[in-house]
């Protein structure tokens, strides 16, 4: 928060007639009042907190109409017409704090939405598994699948998912008896073979 020195002071006889030491007090007193948010009030006991202040300064400034006497000290004349009041400064500070809080909320919400999105790597992995399974089915199809009687064996231990039924028929048709054989014949990974085998044999047939 900065104190203002309006350009009309350069043509203000009250300011121009000040002796150098009192001009310095006038300028520094404005800066001190802004910094301490006193709205232009300077008490008797606070006078010497202002650099280079002396006992003669206030009286000279009062005579020039730049300061006004107050009960316990002085008021800088026209202070609130030139400088920012403490109330306005506090309001501006709170608005800035609220803007910072809103920006942080938006950032957290944005980070959360990014975290909720499915991983691209996971998407690639799933697609890769699906492609591997499709290729495995093609390899299993190099020999004719079982006759229609295979599909008639539907019972409590037979899969119901269309993909799993296809895998079951092709595995049975190739005479594959274990997950290890499925890996060798279909060229899938052990994990993929396990998933296909479990789906094709819901009765948990031993690998």
Residue 119 vs residue 10, higher pLDDT: 10
In this structure, the answer to whether residues 51 and 102 fall within a common structural domain is: no
**207 within a domain of the structure (yes/no):** no
**98 within a domain of the structure (yes/no):** yes
In this structure, the answer to whether residues 151 and 192 fall within a common structural domain is: yes
* Predicted pLDDT of residue 31: 95
**151 within a domain of the structure (yes/no):** yes
Least confident of 32-46, 134-148, 183-197: 134-148
**143 within a domain of the structure (yes/no):** yes
Residue 71 has pLDDT above 80, yes or no: yes
In this structure, the answer to whether residues 141 and 111 fall within a common structural domain is: no
By the 8 A CB rule, do 39 and 70 touch? no
In this structure, the answer to whether residues 76 and 16 fall within a common structural domain is: yes
33: Cβ contacts below 8 Å, ≥ 6 apart: 3, 39, 40, 41, 42, 76, 79, 83
**Tally of domains within the chain:** 3
CA-CA distance, 98 to 76, in Å (whole number)?
32
In this structure, the answer to whether residues 78 and 13 fall within a common structural domain is: yes
**134 within a domain of the structure (yes/no):** yes
In this structure, the answer to whether residues 15 and 67 fall within a common structural domain is: yes
pLDDT in tens, 97-144: 989 998 888 888 887 766 665 555 545 455 566 666 667 766 666 544
* Predicted pLDDT of residue 35: 93
Reduced 3-state DSSP string for 3-26:
CCCCHHHHHCHHHHCCCHHHHHHH
In this structure, the answer to whether residues 101 and 142 fall within a common structural domain is: no
**205 within a domain of the structure (yes/no):** no
**Cα end-to-end span (Å), the chain:** 78
In this structure, the answer to whether residues 147 and 176 fall within a common structural domain is: yes
Highest mean pLDDT among 51-65, 81-95, 98-112, 119-133: 51-65
The parent domain of residue 78 ranges over 7-82
In this structure, the answer to whether residues 64 and 112 fall within a common structural domain is: no
Dihedral sign computed on CA atoms, order 44, 9, 89, 103: negative
């Amino acid at each position: 928060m900065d104190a203002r020195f309006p350009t009309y002071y350069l043509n203000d006889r009250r300011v121009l007639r000040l002796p150098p030491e009192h001009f310095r007090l006038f300028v520094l007193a404005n800066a001190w009042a802004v910094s301490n948010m006193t709205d232009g009030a300077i008490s008797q006991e606070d006078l010497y907190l202002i650099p280079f202040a002396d006992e003669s300064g206030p009286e000279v400034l009062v005579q020039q109409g730049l300061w006004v006497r107050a009960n316990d000290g002085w008021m800088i004349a026209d202070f609130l017409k030139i400088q920012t009041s403490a109330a306005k400064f506090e309001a501006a500070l709170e608005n800035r704090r609220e803007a910072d809080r809103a920006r942080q909320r938006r950032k957290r919400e944005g980070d959360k939405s990014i975290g909720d999105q499915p991983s691209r790597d996971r998407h690639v992995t799933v697609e890769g598994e699906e492609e591997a399974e499709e290729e495995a089915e093609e390899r299993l199809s190099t020999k004719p699948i079982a006759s229609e009687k295979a599909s008639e064996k539907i019972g409590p231990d037979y899969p119901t998912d269309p993909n799993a039924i296809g895998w079951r028929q092709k595995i049975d048709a190739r005479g594959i008896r274990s997950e290890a054989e499925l890996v060798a014949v279909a060229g899938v990974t052990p994990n993929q073979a396990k998933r296909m085998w479990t789906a094709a044999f819901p009765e948990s047939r031993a690998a």
